[in-house]
Amino acid sequence: MATIKDIADKSHVSASTVSRVLNNDDTISVQAETRERILQVAKDLGYKTIVERRMKQKQKASQSVGIIVTQSLDEEVSDPYFLSIRQGIEMELASHGIKTATFRLHETETNQMMDGLDGLIVVGRIKETALKAICKVENVVYINHSPNEDLYDAVVIDFERATEKVLKHFLAAGYTRIGYIGGREKEHIKNQRFNSEDKRLTTFERFMKEQNLFDPKAVFIGEYTMAQGYELMKQAIRSGNLPEAFFIASDPLAIGALRALQEANLKVPEDVAIIGFDDIEAAKFASTPLTTIRVHTREMGKTGVKLLLDRLNGRELPLTVTLPTELVIRESCKGN
């Protein structure tokens, strides 16, 4: 880091003169040419005055960012996917010393609590019109959803590509009768929730139809909870035509499904193979460690904060960042 002495040496003046010029001391008498030379050298060396540093710190400390969580507390607890994203956001904001206010959408009736926010990070699905009804914040970043990439920054994953990874792995391992267990994607509007497209399901249907392998009777949809995974797998077992493999759209669903298979004395992966989604911590400690799609949820949260800070620093062009996923091979599915 450049020092006052470095600037003085290059400017051919004393260190005290440099110090007084850089700190806007009005009592110093110095020629305009000398003042400009000192300022230019300081700029070239990347020197920041105490005043500039303090102003920057004060500006940062005065910033406040809101986090809108579209999931209820029960939903977060039952599926840690969104909880991990929120934790990533909070950690990154804390590292920058930025004040944070967290709101749960179903508890937020007016925009009064959101007055004075510099930016907003939305975790999950909410329509633009619904968001504007409760909040007038200009700088908004969406995470796990991109309602309008021409207007808003967003951090997303490619659900289609991730689903295709799963299905290609199944086919390469010799599985052809493949089922699907999933939940309902929710679009939140105040105290209401509407089902919306889940790209895992639509990609599963499209891909399997392209392979002439789609069986609508092998698709089971409920809620994204462990208990529902258990119940949906029991339904599949009772159907009498159990697929030899299942893509299960979240790890909590998959862990519940494992329990149902265990109770039915069906072995994983010998009788039924399973691939989950998320790679939550419990996935590797399940009764049969889960092969699953790893989503970098905390990094999604941190990336959302970085996009927001970049916006607050003047960027105008909206950006959508797509984070990669990876297939983590464990014991619930054969094949490499």
pLDDT digits (tens, 9 = 90+) for 65-90: 999 988 878 888 878 899 999 999 99
- CATH homologous superfamily, domain 62-157+298-323: Response regulator (3.40.50.2300)
> What pLDDT does 62 receive?
63
What is the model's pTM? 0.77
Pick the most confident of 78-87, 102-111, 165-174, 185-194: 165-174
> What pLDDT does 277 receive?
98
> What pLDDT does 64 receive?
87
Domain with CATH 1.10.260 in the chain: 4-59
Calculate ∠ Cα 302-303-309, nearest 5°: 95
**Mean pLDDT, residues 180-192 taken together:** 71
Residue 111 pLDDT exceeds 50: no
pLDDT mean across residues, the chain? 87
pLDDT band at residue 112 using 50, 70 and 90 as cut-offs: very low
Residue 124 pLDDT exceeds 70: yes
pLDDT band at residue 55 using 50, 70 and 90 as cut-offs: very low
Residue 250 dihedral angles phi and psi, to the nearest 5°? -155, 155
Q: Do residues 83 and 76 lie in contact, with contact meaning Cβ atoms separated by under 8 Å?
A: yes
- Asked if residue 324 has a cis previous peptide bond (ω within 30° of 0), the answer is no
With a CB cutoff of 8 Å and minimum separation 6, the contacts of 232 are: 181, 220, 221, 222, 253, 256, 257
Block residue for tokens 């529902």: 228
Architecture of domain 4-59: Orthogonal Bundle (1.10)
pLDDT band at residue 54 using 50, 70 and 90 as cut-offs: very low
Residue 255 pLDDT exceeds 90: yes
Q: Which residues of 258-297 are buried (b: 16+ CB within 10 A; e: fewer)?
A: bbbbeeeeeebbeebbbbbbbbbeebeebebebbbbbbbb
Domain with CATH 3.40.50.2300 in the chain: 62-157+298-323, 159-295
Architecture of domain 159-295: 3-Layer(aba) Sandwich (3.40)
Q: Do residues 121 and 101 lie in contact, with contact meaning Cβ atoms separated by under 8 Å?
A: no
